[in-house]
């Protein structure tokens, strides 16, 4: 059955609480115990969740995080053209990627308020609550990073605020602006017991919201639960996907035994023969075998995530399938799991390519793409509309 991610506290109750807390005469309210939020783990999914002990999920934290995720004032600015939020790049309709047809980022290539382009194309925000192997294409944000400020999903938030290729801002300016925005201090009080806005709690709230972004109701999920039958073409594609003599996809992207459809690990998949990207996996580990290696992305909703690869070199899913079929390149660093590299790829026939694509499309989760719990709020704590706080990145919800 579909995962239930509905909030346990209605918007009406939230605003009643905001009004009550706002009348405390500048004093901190009495200690408030937020409502625990239990993430319902879908059938067949891993039971181990990546939730830090110091940031348990709560109804109030998630509610606050949703506002902040979509509020362009997170950039620390108020001018229409300088508003930027997480939601500016991560669009729900594209599985929280920009997508190749983004109205501002031509071809899906994102840039920051400074005008600097991001080093790599964006990754989707989907099922990250199960990712314990590091974030970004090279896994720089990881639990064992010697730099304690670059270990968790929470850390990606403040990094997004200050990075020149993202919001190009200043955390002190962001804190001050959110602090003076009516309604927000009270929501921080509800979520974290203090109306003082801190970057730590901004990051915690947004991370809580992102961890609710669970996709588990595609046609393939429903097939696995016995709720529908896949077509013959989709089933043929499934066999190709899960066999070494077929398309040989499952080593890096998993199969029915791994419903995330990614290992969240890093591979040199034979795209190149020369490696000089200062942000590949080798830059993190220093291991020669990691030259030219990048994260294997999830294949859920993959048809909406173009352009593909860390550098966006493929515009369509068909181009990706064709690459793995005929254009894989031999190098000393190509991953050993690329079993067909010496033949240039898995050499799928046109009909096999169609079957494989049909199976991959069965991983598209329409419920995830339209779930109102993940969508921009229509009104923000100070009564402004989404269009007003999104600025030039506005997308009709």
d(CA 212, CA 37) in angstroms, rounded, equals: 10
N residues, the chain = 397
d(CA 68, CA 274) in angstroms, rounded, equals: 41
Residue 4's contacts (CB-CB under 8 Å, 6 or more residues apart) are 40
Of 55, 381, 96, 39, nearest to 202 (Cα)?
55
DSSP code at position 74: G
d(CA 318, CA 315) in angstroms, rounded, equals: 9
Of 146, 188, 151, nearest to 50 (Cα)?
151
Three-state secondary structure call for residue 289: helix
> pTM for the complete prediction?
0.93
Beta bridge partners of 111: 117
Beta bridge partners of 84: none
Residue 255's contacts (CB-CB under 8 Å, 6 or more residues apart) are 238, 241, 242
Render pLDDT for 348-365 as a digit per residue (tens, 0 to 9): 999 999 999 999 999 999
Render pLDDT for 273-310 as a digit per residue (tens, 0 to 9): 999 999 999 999 999 999 999 999 999 999 999 999 99
Render pLDDT for 324-350 as a digit per residue (tens, 0 to 9): 999 999 999 999 999 999 999 999 999
Render pLDDT for 215-246 as a digit per residue (tens, 0 to 9): 999 999 999 999 999 999 999 999 999 999 99
Q: Between the CA atoms of 225, 227, 228 and 230, what dihedral angle is there, to the nearest 10 degrees?
A: 0
Q: Give the per-residue pLDDT at 32.
A: 76
CB 84, CB 78: distance < 8 Å? no
Residue 25's contacts (CB-CB under 8 Å, 6 or more residues apart) are none
- Could you give the angle at the alpha carbon of 78 between the alpha carbons of 74 and 80, nearest 5°? 105
d(CA 356, CA 351) in angstroms, rounded, equals: 9
How much is the mean pLDDT over the chain? 92
Q: Give the per-residue pLDDT at 252.
A: 95
């Amino acid at each position: 059955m579909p995962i239930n991610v509905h909030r346990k506290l209605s918007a009406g109750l939230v605003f009643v609480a905001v009004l009550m807390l706002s009348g405390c005469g500048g004093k901190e309210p009495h200690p408030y115990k937020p409502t625990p939020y239990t993430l319902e783990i879908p059938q067949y999914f891993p039971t181990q969740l990546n939730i830090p002990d110091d940031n348990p999920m709560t109804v109030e934290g998630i509610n606050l995080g949703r506002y902040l995720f979509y509020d362009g004032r997170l950039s620390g600015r108020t001018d229409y053209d300088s508003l930027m939020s997480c939601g500016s790049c991560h669009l729900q309709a594209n599985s929280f990627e920009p997508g190749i047809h983004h109205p501002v980022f031509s071809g899906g290539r994102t840039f920051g308020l400074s005008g600097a382009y991001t080093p790599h194309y964006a990754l989707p925000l989907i099922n990250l609550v199960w990712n314990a192997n590091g974030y970004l294409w090279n896994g720089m944000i990881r639990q064992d990073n010697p730099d304690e400020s670059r270990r968790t999903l929470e850390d990606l938030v403040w990094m997004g605020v200050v990075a020149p290729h993202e919001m190009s801002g200043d955390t002190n300016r962001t804190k001050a602006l959110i602090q003076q925005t009516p309604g927000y201090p009270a929501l921080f009080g509800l979520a974290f017991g203090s109306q003082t806005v801190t970057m730590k709690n901004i990051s915690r709230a947004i991370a809580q919201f992102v961890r609710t972004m669970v996709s588990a109701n595609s046609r393939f999920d429903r097939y696995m639960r016995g709720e529908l039958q896949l077509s013959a073409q989709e089933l043929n594609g499934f066999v190709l996907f899960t066999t070494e003599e077929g398309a040989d996809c499952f080593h890096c992207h998993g199969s029915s035994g791994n419903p995330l459809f990614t290992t969240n690990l890093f591979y040199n998949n034979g795209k190149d023969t020369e490696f000089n990207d200062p942000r590949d996996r080798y830059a993190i580990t220093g291991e020669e075998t990691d030259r030219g290696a990048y994260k294997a992305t999830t294949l859920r909703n993959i048809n909406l995530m173009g352009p593909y690869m860390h550098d966006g070199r493929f515009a369509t899913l068909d181009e990706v399938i064709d690459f793995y079929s005929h254009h894989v390149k031999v190098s000393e660093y190509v991953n050993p799991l690329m079993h067909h590299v010496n033949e240039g790829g898995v050499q799928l026939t046109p009909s096999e390519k169609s079957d494989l694509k049909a199976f991959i499309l069965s991983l598209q989760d329409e419920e995830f793409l339209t779930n109102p719990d993940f969508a921009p709020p229509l009104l923000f704590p100070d009564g402004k509309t989404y269009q007003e706080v999104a600025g030039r990145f506005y997308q009709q919800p």
